[in-house]
Amino acid sequence: MNIDGKPWRTIWLEPDGGPGGDAVGVIDQTLLPHQFTTRSLRSCQEAAEAIRTMVVRGAPLIGVTGAYGLMLALQLDPSDAALAAAFEQLNATRPTAINLRWALERVRAKVQPLPPAERAEAAKAEAAAIADEDVAMCEAIGDHGLALFQQLAARKPGATLQVLTHCNAGWLATVDWGTALAPIYKAHRAGLPIHVWVDETRPRNQGASLTAYELGKEGVPHTVIVDNAGGHLMQHGLVDAVIVGTDRTTRRGDVCNKIGTYLKALAARDNGVPFYVALPASTIDWTIDDGVAEIPIEARNAEEVTQIQGRISTGSAAGEIAQVQLSPNGSPGFNPAFDVTPARLVTGLITERGVAEASEAGLRELYGRG
Ligand code: MRU
């Protein structure tokens, strides 16, 4: 996607940039929207830290960063022991998004049978393939989602399509295009009048900071709302569709996404608003059925709830990025980072292969497995 006229991906190779050979370039998402800064990851340890601290985030991008993290480890030490240690280190960074384990397993399966001297190059090629495939899958999701949006828009000729999204499932969460935002970009580029209600997405505000940033750079009309406003907007006919991403989708179509997604799905059902989830195949966990019972939910630091980060807007420190406290000293916080929306609340799964019913039969029809 473009930032001020320059095309960017969220992750790239910097040849000969690290102690073992290459480095991996990323955009530091903890500073957006106030500062656009890139970082070079020069070791597996730095890649793991970038995922853990959410310098990079979003299920598909975490997966690609993990894949490159294995490459960085193998460039320094291609032994079996180093491969196993790097796999564990990266896999332990964030537990919910299945894309991370999926990408790590894919690279490991490719390199493990090879002689150690060939492993780093093979990991590099596999990580690059995962990144390129992610771009292609997200663009295809955009095309399938666009067709859906065109159907919805046809019901209200001449009017603007009103779409609500939660968290950031845009190009910053992937390598390019995004999942839930890809159809929005496609619609905007196709000239379909569209406006996006952007949930701020407490506690880390990926909506207010990242989704609003992306949509602004692409010129898509949007409005940031507090997380609690969505139900009210739906009751007043101001939302034609909800579209979100997912960090893990079970075999039967339950979707795990940023905390608060479930409440949007409930409000959408109560108001007859279609609730779509956009995902690439790498987000499907074919090993589990019941998302509520079986998906591990990341519990993050309570300070993300009791404090908030922003740019100081007045006074002598204006312009600085700062952390401020919201709750009284001593009030504990609790910070589950994701929730599960049961398949029964999902109108459709928009995948790179088309739109599926959120059910085992629906997914099997597209992917030929169960
Ligand atoms: O905690 P984050 O910012 O990594 O959470 C991201 C989300 O919840 C996205 O909606 C999800 O990864 C789908 S992204 C394409």
Summarised one tens digit per residue, pLDDT across range 354-365 is 999 999 999 999
Contact 248, 98 (CB under 8 A): yes
Contact assessment for residue 169 and residue 181, using Cβ atoms and an 8 Å cutoff: yes
Structure confidence at residue 255 (pLDDT):
98
Give the whole-number percent of the chain exceeding pLDDT 70. Answer: 99
Residues 6+ apart with CB under 8 A from 51: 57, 62, 65, 66, 69, 90, 93, 94, 100
State if residue 209 touches ligand 1 by the CB under 6 angstroms criterion. no
Identify the pLDDT of residue 219.
96
Q: What is the pLDDT of residue 370?
A: 46
Q: Identify the pLDDT of residue 138.
A: 98
* Alpha helix (H) residue ranges in 167-311: 182-189, 206, 212-218, 230-235, 261-270, 291-294, 303-306
Averaged pLDDT for residues 191-211 = 98
Residue nearest (by alpha carbon) to ligand 1 atom 6:
58
Please tell me if the CB atom of residue 174 comes closer than 6 angstroms to any atom of ligand 1: yes
Confidence of residue 15 (pLDDT cuts 50, 70, 90): confident
d(CA 287, CA 154): 39
Please tell me if the CB atom of residue 10 comes closer than 6 angstroms to any atom of ligand 1: no
Reply yes or no on whether the pLDDT at 349 is more than 70.
Answer: yes
The model's confidence at residue 180, banded by pLDDT at 50, 70 and 90, is very high
Ligand 1, atom 15, lies closest to the CA of 169
Residue type, position 252, single letter: R
Q: What is the structure's pLDDT at 327?
A: 98
Residue 5 CA to chain centroid, in angstroms?
Answer: 23
Q: Is the CB of 260 under 6 A from ligand 1?
A: no
Distance in Å from the first CA to the final CA of the chain:
34
Which CATH architecture best describes the domain 142-367? Answer: 3-Layer(aba) Sandwich (3.40)
| Ligand 1 pocket check for 167: Cβ under 6 Å | yes
Query: To which residue do tokens 């964030």 refer?
Result: 94
Q: Where are the domains of the chain?
A: 2-133, 142-367
User: Is 134 known to be catalytic?
Assistant: no
Tell how far the Cα of 61 is from the centroid of ligand 1, in angstroms: 9
Amino acid identity of 102? Answer: W
To the nearest 5 percent, what fractions of the chain are helix, strand and coil?
A: 40, 20, 35
Tell how far the Cα of 246 is from the centroid of ligand 1, in angstroms. 7
Its pTM stands at 0.97
155-173: pLDDT as tens digits: 999 999 999 999 999 999 9
The C-alpha atoms of residue 183 and residue 352 are separated, in whole angstroms, by: 11
Percent of the chain scored above 90 by pLDDT? 96
pLDDT at residue 62 above 70? yes
Fold of domain 2-133:
Four Helix Bundle (Hemerythrin (Met), subunit A) (1.20.120)
Q: How far is CA 74 from the centre of its chain?
A: 26
User: How far, CA to CA in Å, does 289 sit from each of 254, 284, 343, 350, 360?
Assistant: 8, 11, 10, 19, 9
Per the prediction, the chain carries an average pLDDT of 97
| pLDDT bracket for residue 208 (50, 70, 90) | very high
- Residue whose CA lies nearest to ligand 1 atom number 8: 258
Instruction: Return the residue matching tokens 């929207």.
Output: 33
How much is the average pLDDT of 298-315?
A: 97
Work out the average pLDDT over 174-192: 98
pLDDT, position 18:
82
pLDDT of residue 2: 87
Taking the C-alpha atoms of residue 119 and residue 315, their distance in angstroms, rounded to an integer, is 54
The ligand 1 atom nearest the CA atom of 57? 4
